[in-house]
Structure 1
Amino acid sequence: MLQQPLSSPKRIESIDLLRGLVMIIMALDHTRDFFHKEAFTGDPLNAATTTPILYFTRWITHFCAPTFVFLSGMSAWLQHQRKTTKELSWFLITRGLWLIVVEIFIVTLGITADIHYSIFILQTIWSIGISMVLLGLVIHLPFKLILLIGAVIVLGHNSLDFAEAARKGIVPIWWNFLHLPTVFPIADGHVVGIFYPFLPWTGLMIIGYCFGKYYTSLQPEKRNKHVLYISLLLLLIFVAVRFSNIYGDPADWTKQKDALSTFLVFMNVQKYPPSLLFMCATIGGALLFLSFVKTTSGKLAKIIIVYGRVPFFYYILHFYLLNLLHILAYLSRGHSFAEGLKGIPDFPFLFAVPGEGYSLGIVYLIWIAVVIALYPLCKWYDTYKTTHKEKKWLSYL
């Protein structure tokens, strides 16, 4: 267990590049949620009703949350190189609690535009926050025990699927926070939506932390080869275990009317919460990309890295920008502002009507415009953080 800070290491730009890429892709999924005409009326992963491009648009964004959580664990290990265990533990716990507050009040508002908070949303930032808190506690344990805890959670959490199926999804609320998404009332006119139960995400962050030690122990020239082998192993596990239909995902795949539909069903593994196979496919793919990164000196890479250096800042801004554009689009379709504020009964989002929206091509154009529009702000903030390292509070943003 590390107790003394080591020399401060340089940032590993390949990690920032991967993080930046998934942040950019993430905005595509949220743009689709806000603007696609079928966002609230159809399932883009339903092989019977989707199209290949719509399926791909949704499926490619599966890489975002698990990769970001995994890299958050790796980043915690990298911070351990310049902080004592006590310092890192305090930082992870306090930042994790801050992220939970941000999710409940700032991100929820950015998604729903509802100042009355009819629904409090617990999704990505909440799961990262609670996982940071728990990681901040377990890093005091011996490293091998930390690795064991992470492995048991990631490999074993799908065993809870059998109990949930036996109970037909009727479980105590603490179980929902751990493993089974739900929406439950907390007061008159207010509900909480648990969309990211934290147990699998915590396990993945712990594994990312442990992988950080392995990754930094390798010489740069060996890293890509080792990461390639690990990524291929994860993808092989995904294919073999998924094919068996025995374990690793609560929904079995079945043969469909044609090869393409069968492939789409085979690849459609559970994200809420992330199954073992979901994590194998996405982290395997993310590491495969990382293994092929030879240089980060290109102009495009430098642009993408900017997003990867300020992911939280970008995450908050992109929701508010998307919602602003979404409101303007709603008004442009002939609705009034008062109508938008009133909303639709039993529908959690304001300024939205199920079935209204735009084609997938328009969604892609809006996505690209939003990402480009946020670049100057992200670049400014990255420069500000770099030149004001003495301001410790910036590390919480």
Structure 2
Amino acid sequence: MNRVTTIDVTRGLVMVIMALDHVRDLLHITAVTQNPTDLATTTAPIFLTRWITHLCAPTFVFLSGTSAYLSLKKSQNSPTARRFLLTRGLVLILLELTIINFAFWFDIQFRSMLLQVIYAIGGGLIIVSLLARLPVKWVGILGLIIVFGHNLLQLVPAFTNPTARLVGSLLFRVEFFQISPAFALLVAYPLIPWLGLMLVGFACGSLMEQPITIRKRSLFRLGLGALGLFIVLRFINSYGDPAPWSVQKDAFFTVLSFINVTKYPPSLLYDLLMIGIALLILALADGADSPVTRWLMVYGKVPMFYYIIHWYSIHLLMIAMVLLEGYGWKDIQAGTLNFGRPAGAGISLGPVYLVWLGLVLALYPLCRWYGRYKTAHPEIKILRYV
């Protein structure tokens, strides 16, 4: 089976967008003190800068499921392929707990642990490896049940027992745990809500086996259907998101309220809106061959390499920014869930965009080199995981 390039193009696009959010997180002067989606305090540019990056995580998770399906199909669902998915999931979780969390905090004492999208993808791949023997339709139905039904968990009170609360958080709820004065855990991406998206993506993998004309039509229809259902449910304003929309100070901010859906954990309406957009991008990118799509494919073929390198690069850029603004090394203090940026340090939104563009362009030759090296050396098994 030939590689489906539309997946690489779409994944590359969201990876480029993702870097904008992380540059904003570490360099924007108000990133620590201002919630970018709080309509009472935010501005339209800050809101939209954050909102567009909501597309990234669900697309990653969805396409991880699609890629898992294609990988298993290529190997005829062999035990070896299922075992690779299991191992890859475990490796991703290990990377999350070590290399990636160090990139977040630059804290050799590991006083903070953030479980986010790589944890969710890793855990999801482990479960997909166990479900892969089932008919694809059943896997997809299970995914839809999770996507459409997990908001009902909001009605269930949180556990009070510490162990049960931790397990419940790893699976279902966003929770912060101050384990000790010197260690904190934030579960930002509980597994089950994101697993639903991965299972739906797995089931949609069968679409990628269709001729391109049929595939494009199906992707368009599914994308428009998801967006249409989002609009209907959002207008009803009773189920699908814990934060209902409301009339704001003007028409534009009312529209922002309408699309201001909940990511942590991903609500039904968040899933419908973001995956609807992602499906349309997949359809538009399918079969497209241009300098832009070829450029995006370079990033999309090496997602984990890009993800790790871009986090370390952004954190180093943050340190450079702080020093250039006149602070000293003593002012860069790592701590619990603390990037180390001193209060008052930072740049405005315009320069954030310039840094983002510069970073993405600077990473291009590295990603191209690594992609070529990885292709030329299939005998190096560890490269399959990065």
TM-score (structure 1 length as normaliser): 0.92
Deviation of 1:294 (Å): 5.3
Paired with 1:158 and 1:166, the residues of 2 have a C-alpha distance of 17
Cα contact 2:69–2:205 (8 A) shared by 1:
yes
Query: CA distance change for structure 1 residues 214 and 295 in 2, over 3 Å: closer, same or farther?
Result: closer
Which residue of the partner structure matches residue 356 of structure 1? 345
Amino acid at match of 1:279: D
Which residue of the partner structure matches residue 385 of structure 1? 374
Which residue of the partner structure matches residue 120 of structure 2? 127
Deviation of 1:148 (Å): 2.2
Paired with 2:125 and 2:286, the residues of 1 have a C-alpha distance of 30
Paired with 2:215 and 2:139, the residues of 1 have a C-alpha distance of 23
Which residue of the partner structure matches residue 359 of structure 2? 370
User: How far does the alpha carbon of each residue in 1:284-311 deviate from its partner, in whole angstroms, 9 at most, with x for none?
Assistant: 0011122223543211211110000001
Cα contact 1:38–1:356 (8 A) shared by 2:
no
Paired with 1:270 and 1:378, the residues of 2 have a C-alpha distance of 32
CA RMSD between the two structures: 1.8
Paired with 1:294 and 1:195, the residues of 2 have a C-alpha distance of 32
Which residue of the partner structure matches residue 20 of structure 1? 12
Q: How does 1:242-261 map to 2 (within 5 A)?
A: 242-261=234-253
Cα contact 1:158–1:248 (8 A) shared by 2:
yes
Which residue of the partner structure matches residue 99 of structure 2? 106
Deviation of 1:88 (Å): 2.2
Which residue of the partner structure matches residue 232 of structure 1? 224
User: 1:185 aligns to what SS in structure 2?
Assistant: strand
Cα contact 2:104–2:339 (8 A) shared by 1:
no
Paired with 1:60 and 1:350, the residues of 2 have a C-alpha distance of 23
Query: CA distance change for structure 1 residues 95 and 350 in 2, over 3 Å: closer, same or farther?
Result: same
1:71 aligns with 2:74: no
User: 138, 141, 152: which one pairs with 2:145?
Assistant: 152
Cα contact 2:5–2:286 (8 A) shared by 1:
no
Cα contact 2:331–2:342 (8 A) shared by 1:
no
Paired with 1:196 and 1:350, the residues of 2 have a C-alpha distance of 19
Which residue of the partner structure matches residue 306 of structure 1? 298
Deviation of 1:127 (Å): 0.8
Structure 2's unaligned 5+ residue stretches are none
Cα contact 2:112–2:337 (8 A) shared by 1:
yes
Q: How does 1:281-292 map to 2 (within 5 A)?
A: 281-292=273-284
Q: How does 1:40-59 map to 2 (within 5 A)?
A: 40-59=32-51
Amino acid at match of 1:186: I
Which residue of the partner structure matches residue 88 of structure 1? 81
Among the aligned pairs, what percent are the same residue?
Answer: 42
Cα contact 2:207–2:215 (8 A) shared by 1:
no
Cα contact 2:174–2:188 (8 A) shared by 1:
yes
Amino acid at match of 1:211: C
Deviates more, 1:152-161 or 1:27-36: 152-161
Paired with 2:243 and 2:218, the residues of 1 have a C-alpha distance of 32
1:175 aligns with 2:158: no
User: How far does the alpha carbon of each residue in 1:234-267 deviate from its partner, in whole angstroms, 9 at most, with x for none?
Assistant: 0001111111112111111112222111111111
Structure 1's unaligned 5+ residue stretches are 1-8
Paired with 2:142 and 2:245, the residues of 1 have a C-alpha distance of 29
User: 1:183 aligns to what SS in structure 2?
Assistant: strand
Query: CA distance change for structure 1 residues 355 and 181 in 2, over 3 Å: closer, same or farther?
Result: farther
Cα contact 2:212–2:287 (8 A) shared by 1:
no
TM-score (structure 2 length as normaliser): 0.95
User: 2:330 aligns to what SS in structure 1?
Assistant: helix
Residue-pair matches, total: 383
User: 1:292 aligns to what SS in structure 2?
Assistant: helix
User: 201, 208, 219: which one pairs with 2:201?
Assistant: 208
Which residue of the partner structure matches residue 11 of structure 1? 3
Amino acid at match of 1:255: V
